[in-house]
Structures are given as structure tokens and as C-alpha cells.
Amino acid sequence: MAWAELGQSEVSGPGVNPRVVDYFHHVGHSAIADDETAWCAAFVGACLERAGFASTRSLMARSYLDWGEPAADPPAGSIAVLTRGTNTSLGHVGFLVGMTDTAIYLLGGNQSDAVSVARFDRSRLLGICMPTARATQSATADGEAFERALSHVLSLEGGWSDDPFDPGGPTNKGITLADYARERRVAVTAENFAALKAELRAIPDRLVRDIYLTRYWRPARCPDFPPPLALMHFDAAVNQGVSGAARMLQQALGVDIDGEIGPITLAAARSRSLRASIETYAEIRRRRYRSLAHFWRFGRGWLRRVDATLARSLKSTPPSQPFQETKPMPDPQANFPNGFPIGTSEGPDVKWWGQSMTIWGALLTALSTVLPLLGPVLGVNLTVDLVEKLGQDVVLLVQAAGGLIGTIMTILGRMRATTLLERRPVKLKL
């Protein structure tokens, strides 16, 4: 896998080498779209993933010091980690080609900005390791869990789609044109656009399976989770991105959100209530969908997708799995345009809008500043005689005081807000 990449290099100037960017995508860092970010660890991880091994999915070279097992008499192909400068957090990683008493030769990425074989001083060597049986198994034991998850995702994705409002562009069986082009190792251009679209429409099932396995299932670390949670996480990775899915999962598990699934996230997934984790994950996905600009177009389908995945995930939760029903932590900033059903006890804690200091402060400010202008329209005419009778200074003073008090109430209400507002029917009889 690594030798096949020999010669791939960064593109000078504003352009990028899509093959280098693809290394990041293979290890779950799809947000990176340039070839300037240090990519030696991404290169090693991508090669391992393609070969059926679980990488660290980290972009830190030294992460491989805690991966696999030490190799006393390392063969070619072992993972070697070197120092880089005086910073103890930095390093370099590559595949071992050979060693002498004073030098070590590595096949690696980001070596003179390219995939190459380079010589390094052996004094820089920090450690050499080989994958353990467990590392091999964690990435290759996809089996029935992956097949079930793939079947579910394909049933939701459908067939060919070329909706002009879809930011993913032309899509077939959930595979976007960009993903297909990366798999083909070509860039999408105006010249090959039509030809690639035709190929995507005829994409074979075998290639569809390989793309889902190597670009979503493994980079999202789905084999490391219980199958019900893996199903929810896999569907999120496919439809909302591997990195985005990792962040939503970490939010659901209540751990630090950094987009990298490591030992802390895995430990939380194994120790927390499986059912509660899946339900919270589903609700976070709904919030994320509602915040997107294209929710008006695809929102109903997205929410139905989450509901279908949630139902299937919970159905496959083992009966013996202990769990305690919990509600998600309320998020005052969450976007709930459709609100919660009236009178329901599900979802975050809510209160009636009439109990909101923020609402009343805004209303008082509006009445104090706008009503004098709209009074004549509403039939409340503040005539000159009336103003003179009341005293112009008194009117201005009351108006200014009302605006000031309303503004203060709005600010204090926003600072104190901890719960969402609930919609209640209000009847007004005239």
C-alpha cells in the first residue's frame, strides 16, 4: 500500500494534490482540504487502514509509540517513530526500509513534501513497533455488524440523485461524485465531469461496499463500538461526515469534543448506558440538521432518517443491556424551529414564554419606543393639546424609562436563561 504511493507530492502554490488530501480523509479528518498540513501520520494511517489494520487515526506521529507492540528485531514494514526538532510533542513516522549502525531509512509521507524513501540519523529513533493481533482484529472484524449497517444505509440513500440544491452534488447509492473521483484518484474537472457522472451512475456494488468500508466504517472506528451504537455512528458518518459524527458522538457521551476518537471516547462508549447514548446521539443529530441552511429542502427526510436509524439501533440493543432512562442535557442555544409537542415530558426542560424575562423586556422596549409612532394608526392619537397638557418632558421621561427598563430586562433575561421556551395555545377574544 505504501510503495504504491511513492512519488505523490504536495502541489506548490494554491493548488492541492487530492491524493494527499485523501490520506486525511481515510483516517477520519475530512475537514482538512489542503496538502500543507503535516501529513506523515495521515499517510501511515491511510496505508494501514487500506491494508486492514486499525491505525491510531491521529495526526500526531508520536501516537504510534502507544500503538501495536515493540519490535526487538523489526522487519521491513515496521512502524518507526522519530523525533522532530526539540519539541517533545512533535515527531515523524514512517515504514521501516532498513537500518545501519548510524542511519535509518524510512518509506514515508511528507518527506521533502513527498512520499519518498529518506535517510535519518538513527539517534532520532524513539521506537519501532508492529501491529498486534488485536489491532488487526479491530479493523478486520467488520463481519455481520458492517453488513447490517451497510444494508440499512443503502436502504435510506436510495439510487441516483442530482438535486441542484444538494451541496454534495451528483450522488448514487450515497456515494458522491467527489468520493468516487477520490477513489479513482482523479480530480473533478470541467473536461471529465460528464464522464465521471456516467461512471458514477453505473458504479458496481463491490466498489460501493469498499468505499463505505474504507472511507466511513473504519475511519469512524465503528468496529470498536457495540453494534447498536456503531449503526447510529456509521449512519451519521455517512450523512454528516466522519469528523462531524465523531464530535456529535463525543457530545452524546459527555467527553471532550475534539473530533478524534481515542481511548477516552471508547471507554465512555463502553461504560455509559447504551440506550441513553444512542437516544442522546439521535437528538444531537436532529439539532445539527435543523441548523443547516438546506433544512427547508431536505429536513423532513433527514429527520425520518434519524428516526429510522434510532428505531433499528434500539431494536438491536441486547435485552440484558442495563440502562437508565435519561434526558439529554438542555441546550439553550439549540435550534428547535418545530418546538416540542405540547405537554410532553420528553426533550429538554421548557418553560412558557410568558414566564420569560427576556420576552417581557423586549415587549416593554418595543411598546415604549414604537407605540408613540404607531399610536395614530391604532387609533391612539397623542395630540398636541394632550402632549402640552401632560407635559412634553414627562412623556419623554416615561418613554426613556420604559426603554431603559425593557433593555435591562432583556439583557438580564438572556444572562439568566437556562431553559427552552415552550409553545402554548393562547386565545384572544375581541
Task: Please list, in sequence order, all residues whose beta carbon lies within 8 angstroms of the beta carbon of residue 323, skipping any fewer than 6 positions away.
Answer: 273, 274, 275, 276, 317
Retrieve residue 214's grid coordinates: 474504507
What is the identity of the amino acid at 218? R
- Please state whether 413 falls in left (phi above 0), alpha (psi between -120 and 50) or beta: alpha
- Give the helix/strand (H/E) hosting 396: helix 392-416
C-alpha to C-alpha distances, 369 to 357, 373, 380, 391, nearest whole angstrom: 18, 8, 15, 18
The structure's pTM equals: 0.49
* Sequential pLDDT tens for the chain (430 residues): 899 889 999 988 788 888 888 888 778 777 788 888 899 999 999 888 777 787 888 889 998 988 888 877 888 999 999 999 888 889 999 999 999 999 999 999 999 999 999 999 999 999 999 887 545 544 444 577 888 899 999 998 878 888 777 777 888 888 888 888 887 778 888 888 889 989 998 888 888 988 898 888 988 888 888 889 999 999 999 988 898 999 999 999 999 998 888 888 888 888 888 889 999 999 999 999 999 888 888 888 899 999 999 999 988 765 544 433 334 444 434 443 444 333 333 344 444 555 566 666 666 666 666 556 555 655 555 554 554 555 555 555 656 666 667 677 666 665 555 445 555 566 677 7
Q: What is d(CA 160, CA 166) in angstroms, rounded to the nearest whole number?
A: 12
Contact call for residues 316 and 361 (beta carbons, < 8 A): no
Q: What is d(CA 173, CA 203) in angstroms, rounded to the nearest whole number?
A: 9
Read out DSSP for 347-374? Answer: SS-EEEGGG-HHHHHHHHHHHHHHHHHH
HSE, CB side, 13 Å, CA atoms: give it for residue 206: 0
Classify residue 379 by burial, with Cβ atoms within 10 Å: 0-12, 13-18, 19+: exposed
C-alpha to C-alpha distances, 209 to 28, 146, 151, 226, 235, nearest whole angstrom: 18, 10, 10, 21, 14
Specify the pLDDT at position 343. Answer: 37
Q: What is d(CA 63, CA 298) in angstroms, rounded to the nearest whole number?
A: 39
